[in-house]
Amino acid sequence: MRGAVEMLREFGVPHEVRVVSAHRTPDLLFEYAEAAAGRGLRVIVAGAGGAAHLPGMMAAKTVVPVLGVPIAATALQGFDAMLSIAQMPKGVPVGTMAIGAAGAANAGLLAIAMLGTTDAALQEKLVAWRAARRDEVLAQVVGDEVSA
């Protein structure tokens, strides 16, 4: 989940980091989710492995959008978690990201894009960040030639 935090920090987005477990701290999960909108949270990024109930249960208890990141925590290397997060019943949506580090970073970026819909300065930072990624690709040299 470090990738999500790193993206939020890079863009200067205020955030909080909490460790919550759907199975080991269910009361904390419910309390956190039920209070999320009232505390001003606008998007939640929740990582989970194995049965991966955290993102879905979080989404069931709040109207704040939830992005789920499957974690490779079992012998199935996160595939079980991805299916659990993706297969939510109608009415309880969870945005499902890729497994692991790339999914965490993309969850941070998607949260930034969502927040950018109502924050022009944040959206401009995202536009510039994406342009910089494009320029990195275009600047790559293969042998004596620039790749296209």
CB of 17 closer than 8 Å to CB of 2? no
* Two structure tokens written together for 20: 């919550």
Per-state percent for the chain, helix, strand, coil, to nearest 5: 50, 10, 40
- 65 burial (CB, 10 Å; 0-12 / 13-18 / 19+) is middle
Known binding-site positions: 24
Known binding-site positions for substrate: 24
